Amino acid sequence: MSKGKGRLTVTVDQELVRAGNAAVRAGRARSLSGWVNLALAERAEKERRLKLMEQALQAYEAEFGPISEEELMAQDRADRSSALVVRGQRSRRSGRRRAAP
């Protein structure tokens, strides 16, 4: 990111302003402007990653054809069966995890 700063006037939900000010008071941000700048930088990075993922998916499907619903379901099952349970326990019925009581 560039070190040059620009002035910006925006309208923001009050709850977000309160959250930003709370972050400043707690020492998690130097200023409300810094907190907002970080949020915008994180959003810009997320958008960049999403665009790269979209391009990768388009390239894959151009080479191998569209990914079917069945393939997505099979991958979901494989992901669930290989996932490590950190909290809770597996449901006996579906193999899905549920929260501990």
pLDDT band at 76 (very low <50, low <70, confident <90, very high): very high
Kindly tell me if the per-residue pLDDT of 98 is higher than 60: no
Segment (H or E) for 97? strand 97-98
CA distance linking residue 5 with residue 7, whole number of Å: 7
Of 29, 42, 31, 35, the residue nearest 1 (C-alpha)? 42
For residue 50, the SS3 value is helix
Residue 39, classed as helix, strand or coil, is helix
Q: What is the pLDDT of residues 51-65, one digit of tens each?
A: 999 999 999 999 999
- In the chain, domain spans: 10-66, 68-101
- Residue 92 is classified by DSSP as T
Distance CA 95, CA 90 (A): 6
CA distances to 64, 66, 67, 72, 76 from 59, rounded to whole Å, are 9, 10, 12, 17, 21
| Model confidence band, residue 88 (pLDDT cutoffs 50, 70, 90) | confident
Residue 93 has pLDDT above 90, yes or no: no
Using pLDDT thresholds of 50, 70 and 90, give the confidence band for residue 96.
low
Across residues 68-86, what is the average pLDDT?
A: 94
> What's the pLDDT score for residue 94?
54
